[in-house]
A and B are shown apart, each in its own frame.
Chain A
Amino acid sequence: MLTRRGVLTAAAFSTVLGLGLPALAQSTIKIGEMNSYKVFPAFLDPYKKGWELAVEEVNAAGGVLGKKIEIVSRDDNGTPGDAVRVAEELVSRENVVLLVGTFPSNVGLAVADFAKQKKILFIAAEPLTDKIVWEAGNKYTFRLRASTYMQTAMLVPEAAKLKKKRWAIVYPNYEYGQAATAAFKKLIKEQQPDVEFVVEQAVPLNKIEAGPVVQAIADAKPDAIFSSLFAADLAKFVREGNTRGLFKDMAVFNILGGEPEYLDPLKDETPSGWYVTGYPWDQIKTPEHTKFKDAYMKKYNDYPRLGSIVGYSSVMSAVAAIRKANSTDTEKMVAAMKGLTHSTPFGDITYRALDHQSTMGAYVGRLAQKDGKGVMVDWTYADGAKFLPSDADVKKMRPAD
């Protein structure tokens, strides 16, 4: 029975902690942030550095509405259940004015629904799922990054130009990979009605059996491959495909393949000529990006990854919304977010009033090797606004607020 008392002491202790905090909170504007830091560290470690830089810059410039901003960050453990719990903590104990963050789609969707239920603004930073702004879109949720659909659409024009007929598809077997595959098939068929999909490999996330998959693809004798693999699955697929000569004279398209998080580990294994979406951080010379990159490298003595851009920009979005609303009232901020335009290292982005999707784009280019490292070449910036379905189609998918 001692232990029950222990639990109560514990409970009482956390109550005291909880009651103590709000008193201190008046001089700053608190933004709640949550992410699956320990589940996806390769992406989220740079992400965290990104938002820390943003906070520093915002506060150095005097903050917003005359107050400094403060991020209260939590680890959501990569599960929707834990994410909703920390979201409740951020909202009810820390009194944050809005929420940003999340990485996996299921967590993003769960927090988006929580935001709808509790009527709090949520800026989904990273989840790529199309549903978060379309089928499951809601009034309180906005999304920063170019979605699965958009990134796939960015690769389709090049793919259609090649006039390849026999396509092989390989994707991680969960919503992101399934959505990328569906979008690709639909879009390429619109441009090129006679395409054939000769083989489709759905691999368990993080557990690809690269040898058999490469063999199965080779057996189908495709002219081109569309892949949405990333991280370890991508590295294994590339190593195995290179060794087995699968990519010789093969056109390969891989969304996300040019993101430093997934490209850098490939080093001298980087397959030349692949068409990818990504982030050539060392070659972008726009003033916005140079300013960001220099500040980042000065602060961390490390180069930015795509995660850094996402972390930095999501805080900038939140600040811009507060500034435009001139208030931290949720309804006013939500109204401000609709059509909000602000500057990011990728240039100006706008959160569309139609579906709350930002127009942040991605860089589309090809992979090459330089000094034993992977780089992107022949790249261009694909503006997200140009790779979205028609307004009528979006309205059909998205429930009314």
Chain B
Amino acid sequence: MTFSSIVLQFINGLAGTSSLFLVAAGLSLIFGVTRIVNFAHGSFYMLGLYVAYSAIGFFGTTILGFWGGIVAAALVIGVLGAVIEILVLRRIYQAPELFQLLATFAVVLVIKDAALGIWGPEDLLGPRAPGLRDAVTILGGNVPQYDLALIVIGPLVLAALWLLLNRTRFGILIRAATQDREMVAALGVNQKHLFTAVFFLGSLLAGLGGAVQIPREPAQLFLDIAVIADAFVVVVVGGLGSIPGAFLAAFIISVVKAFCIGIGDVTILGFDVSFSKLTLVVEFVIMAIVLVVRPWGLLGRPQGQQRGAGMLSQPLPQIGRRFLLIAGSIVVLLALLPALGDRYLLVLLIDILIFALFAASLHFLIGPAGMVSFGHAAYFGLGAYGAALLLKQAGLPMELALLLAPLVAGAGALLFGWFAVRLSGVYLAMLTLAFAQIVWSIAFQWDAFTGGSNGMVGIWPAEWLSSRTVFFYLTLIVCLGAVAGLWRILYSPFGYAMRAGRDSPLRAEAIGIDVRSVQWFAFAIAGLFAGIAGALFAFSKGSISPDLLGIPRSVDALVMVLLGGVQTLVGPVVGAAIFTWLQDEIARATEYWRAILGLVILLLVIAFPQGIAGFAGRLLARRRSAQS
């Protein structure tokens, strides 16, 4: 790279910084105060673009019309965010941590279909900014004037936010709530108003972040997913709740990306290295490095004490006779189902059983082990890839591949877990996400070995297992056996140690439990069992591709666990069954299946803030106590 191209790429990086910062700042505020992992933030960004497109079309492409349209879009999205907070999230603040994530996931589905319904399927490229249509020449290269405007807008918003947070009463409340929201409540601050205001502000920033992209990218329906992961990465790298941190992180990520592109393909020590291909995953690599070196992000502080977090989950009840009786009869019923002769029912049940095991393995991690993972698909996918690679590349018989594949996932979990258990809370969750994305990008890129973006086909079960009925029995035995195995572990000495470590790390350490090692092995066990599910999945579909390792797959698993209820053992199984079945039924019934699915989840969320199985469990417990 010449000097001029270094300077120009740096300027490109700065323009990117502003774009990333705007969307991340809002997310950081919302998370800092409400502790909600707001998946809908990317949707607000996407809507910001769409609304700005329409508003500018309405006001006309004058200077006033353009910037008026952008401000109007930001305000509209701010109000929308506040409305969603009031209508949905406010009802479920009492629910266990993370549960709100489920509601925001449903909002994503609804907004996506709503945008499709309102604006249609075609990408909408907005106008260039009036007055800033062209480029200026810097060191012989052309830089769009609008990029220079963005470079100013980002720091301006940063300064405004800094003033708001440090020089106003509202700002003091936000900072106080970020540090310790129980204490703020105890001091008599109206939390409802505070949360709504923060949601308004955060959503407004997301909308603004989208709206200012109007001259740079078309409004399109992919944006929600594309943006949300990046925004989270920026927030976490910068340090949760730290606005200057978010700016710094946005700066680092954007500049590194610009230089990866600028450097392009080079030969290092005789190896061809393509830095442009690295852009696929570079932000996650940065995040992994930052989290390993600085567990609280660049400018973040250790998270405040979460009072009562341990108190929320009751100790697991002993598995009683009645439970075994009911579970046994359900298994018998399931085993009789092939007699009905409906082959598709078996196909659907195979999916449900596999996802039930996948969800149960995630639940093992989130619930009893107390570690949230946003990247659990990595182990599901490693199991599936392990099976495919052992079958195709190593030429093993299918039965052996199925048997050994989970070990691949277990080994992966053992490796990543070693790093992950050194962190806690959302930082841990994001590190698991980073690892999952790194694994995903390797599978995606490594054509010769993993089949690249296409994946691999021809991963069918052995002849004697190829009938759906036989494969159903195999799945039934393996999945139920594995779920039972996971439950058994919970009641073993190891399980008690694990639960002790979650509820009170200090006391657990004091009685001689090596909490970190226990967590590490728990992580590996969860990965191993997810790998069993993944391997079965590969053979049930006959093919694998990188989507098995992707973020949506991890999110699905989280949704299943939360839908069923984190605090019950059967929760994830119930959640997996209902989610898979709902998706199958609704997708067949209507074109706008995503919106309907989202609305159904929203209803379930509001009706059963403990999860469905959690609700049922409470009902039973109440009845039992009434009887006695």
Q: How far, in angstroms, from A339 to B216 measured CA to CA in the complex?
A: 47
Contact A38 B574 (CB under 8 A): no
Contacts of B216 in A (CB 8 A): 210, 236, 239-240
A163 touches B (CB below 8 Å) = no
Q: Mark A230-259, 1 if CB is under 8 A from B, else 0.
A: 011001100110011100000000000000
A215-B123 CB under 8 A given contacts A11-B337, A14-B348, A206-B226 = no
In this complex, which of B125, B128, B564 has the most chain A Cβ atoms within 10 angstroms of its Cβ? B125
Contact B144 A2 (CB under 8 A): no
Q: How far, in angstroms, from A215 to B15 measured CA to CA in the complex?
A: 13
Contact A212 B262 (CB under 8 A): yes
A19-B342 CB under 8 A given contacts A212-B262, A215-B9, A245-B142 = yes
Contact B588 A74 (CB under 8 A): yes
A394 touches B (CB below 8 Å) = no
Distance in Å: Cβ of A275 to nearest Cβ of chain B: 21
Contacts of A112 in B (CB 8 A): 457
Q: Mark A173-193, 1 if CB is under 8 A from B, else 0.
A: 111001000000000000000
B124 touches A (CB below 8 Å) = yes
A110 touches B (CB below 8 Å) = yes
How many residues of A are counted as interface, with CB atoms below 8 angstroms from the partner's CB atoms? 80
Contacts of A220 in B (CB 8 A): 264
Contact B142 A244 (CB under 8 A): yes
Q: How far, in angstroms, from A203 to B282 measured CA to CA in the complex?
A: 12
Q: How far, in angstroms, from A170 to B443 measured CA to CA in the complex?
A: 22
Residue of A nearest to B260 (CB): A212
How many residues of B are counted as interface, with CB atoms below 8 angstroms from the partner's CB atoms? 100
The residue from A10, A106, A266 contacting B547, defined by CB atoms under 8 A apart: A106
Contact A85 B347 (CB under 8 A): yes
Q: Mark A72-94, 1 if CB is under 8 A from B, else 0.
A: 00110111110011001100110
Contacts of B277 in A (CB 8 A): 173, 202
Residue of A nearest to B282 (CB): A204
B220 touches A (CB below 8 Å) = yes
Contact B217 A232 (CB under 8 A): yes
Distance in Å: Cβ of B200 to nearest Cβ of chain A: 29
Distance in Å: Cβ of B610 to nearest Cβ of chain A: 12
Distance in Å: Cβ of B325 to nearest Cβ of chain A: 10
B191 touches A (CB below 8 Å) = no
Q: How far, in angstroms, from A245 to B141 measured CA to CA in the complex?
A: 10
In this complex, which of B215, B347, B444 has the most chain A Cβ atoms within 10 angstroms of its Cβ? B347
Q: Kindly specify which of B78-86, B481-489, B535-543 makes contact with the partner chain.
A: B535-543
Q: How far, in angstroms, from A320 to B343 measured CA to CA in the complex?
A: 30
A37-B591 CB under 8 A given contacts A14-B348, A240-B144, A265-B124 = yes
Residue of B nearest to A88 (CB): B347
B468-504: which residues lie under 8 A (CB-CB) from chain A?
468
Contacts of B581 in A (CB 8 A): 7, 10-11, 14
Contact B264 A201 (CB under 8 A): yes
B1 touches A (CB below 8 Å) = yes
In this complex, which of A8, A11, A18, A240 has the most chain B Cβ atoms within 10 angstroms of its Cβ? A11
Contacts of B113 in A (CB 8 A): 38
Contact A136 B220 (CB under 8 A): no
Q: How far, in angstroms, from A113 to B141 measured CA to CA in the complex?
A: 50
Contacts of A239 in B (CB 8 A): 125, 128, 215-217
Contact A18 B345 (CB under 8 A): yes
Contact B340 A15 (CB under 8 A): yes
Distance in Å: Cβ of A260 to nearest Cβ of chain B: 9
Q: How far, in angstroms, from A299 to B234 measured CA to CA in the complex?
A: 48
Q: How far, in angstroms, from A218 to B4 measured CA to CA in the complex?
A: 12
Distance in Å: Cβ of A72 to nearest Cβ of chain B: 9
Contact A175 B452 (CB under 8 A): yes
Distance in Å: Cβ of B256 to nearest Cβ of chain A: 11
A42 touches B (CB below 8 Å) = yes
Q: How far, in angstroms, from A199 to B262 measured CA to CA in the complex?
A: 10
A264 touches B (CB below 8 Å) = yes
A106-B594 CB under 8 A given contacts A113-B543, A200-B265, A215-B141 = no
Contacts of B544 in A (CB 8 A): 80
Contact A88 B587 (CB under 8 A): no
Q: Is the interface of A mostly helix, strand, loop or mixed?
A: helix
B3-26: which residues lie under 8 A (CB-CB) from chain A?
5, 8-9, 12-13, 15-16
Q: How far, in angstroms, from A89 to B122 measured CA to CA in the complex?
A: 30
Distance in Å: Cβ of A366 to nearest Cβ of chain B: 20
A219 touches B (CB below 8 Å) = yes
Q: Mark B565-603, 1 if CB is under 8 A from A, else 0.
A: 000001000100110010011011001011000000000
Q: How far, in angstroms, from A236 to B12 measured CA to CA in the complex?
A: 14
B518 touches A (CB below 8 Å) = no
A85-B342 CB under 8 A given contacts A174-B452, A175-B454 = no
Distance in Å: Cβ of B563 to nearest Cβ of chain A: 11
A260-279: which residues lie under 8 A (CB-CB) from chain B?
261, 264-267, 269
The residue from A38, A80, A84, A244 contacting B594, defined by CB atoms under 8 A apart: A38
Contacts of B143 in A (CB 8 A): 244
Residue of A nearest to B109 (CB): A38
Q: How far, in angstroms, from A391 to B348 measured CA to CA in the complex?
A: 42
Q: How far, in angstroms, from A269 to B337 measured CA to CA in the complex?
A: 59
Q: Is the interface of B mostly helix, strand, loop or mixed?
A: helix
Contacts of A323 in B (CB 8 A): none
The residue from B12, B279, B351 contacting A211, defined by CB atoms under 8 A apart: B12
Distance in Å: Cβ of B294 to nearest Cβ of chain A: 26
A114 touches B (CB below 8 Å) = yes
Contacts of B257 in A (CB 8 A): 209, 212
Contact A81 B457 (CB under 8 A): no
Contact A88 B344 (CB under 8 A): yes
In this complex, which of A109, A215, A261 has the most chain B Cβ atoms within 10 angstroms of its Cβ? A215
Q: How far, in angstroms, from A320 to B588 measured CA to CA in the complex?
A: 27
A106-B453 CB under 8 A given contacts A3-B613, A7-B574, A93-B343 = yes
Distance in Å: Cβ of A220 to nearest Cβ of chain B: 8
The residue from B147, B330, B545, B619 contacting A106, defined by CB atoms under 8 A apart: B545
The residue from A202, A244, A265 contacting B122, defined by CB atoms under 8 A apart: A265
Contact B542 A114 (CB under 8 A): yes
Contact A14 B585 (CB under 8 A): yes
A117 touches B (CB below 8 Å) = yes
B428-468: which residues lie under 8 A (CB-CB) from chain A?
444-445, 447, 452-455, 457-458, 460, 468
Q: How far, in angstroms, from A4 to B15 measured CA to CA in the complex?
A: 53
In this complex, which of B122, B142, B144, B574 has the most chain A Cβ atoms within 10 angstroms of its Cβ? B122
Q: How far, in angstroms, from A211 to B222 measured CA to CA in the complex?
A: 20
Contacts of B337 in A (CB 8 A): 11
Contacts of B613 in A (CB 8 A): 3
A161 touches B (CB below 8 Å) = no
Q: Mark B526-542, 1 if CB is under 8 A from A, else 0.
A: 00000000000100011
B156 touches A (CB below 8 Å) = no
Q: How far, in angstroms, from A310 to B300 measured CA to CA in the complex?
A: 53
B274 touches A (CB below 8 Å) = yes
Contact A89 B344 (CB under 8 A): yes
Distance in Å: Cβ of B271 to nearest Cβ of chain A: 16
Contact B330 A4 (CB under 8 A): yes
Contacts of B121 in A (CB 8 A): 41-42, 44-45
A207 touches B (CB below 8 Å) = yes
Q: Mark A107-130, 1 if CB is under 8 A from B, else 0.
A: 001101110010000000000010
Contact A4 B8 (CB under 8 A): no
Contacts of B560 in A (CB 8 A): none
Contacts of A206 in B (CB 8 A): 220, 222, 226
A215-B8 CB under 8 A given contacts A89-B347, A113-B543, A178-B452 = yes
Distance in Å: Cβ of B128 to nearest Cβ of chain A: 7
Contact A136 B457 (CB under 8 A): yes
Q: How far, in angstroms, from A387 to B274 measured CA to CA in the complex?
A: 31
Closest 9 CB pairs of A and B: A41-B121, A174-B453, A113-B457, A110-B543, A92-B343, A212-B261, A93-B344, A106-B545, A244-B142
Q: What would 17 A/B residue contacts be, using CB atoms closer than 8 Å?
A: A3-B613, A7-B578, A8-B333, A18-B342, A42-B122, A45-B121, A79-B547, A85-B541, A106-B543, A110-B455, A113-B457, A199-B264, A202-B276, A212-B12, A232-B222, A243-B128, A264-B122
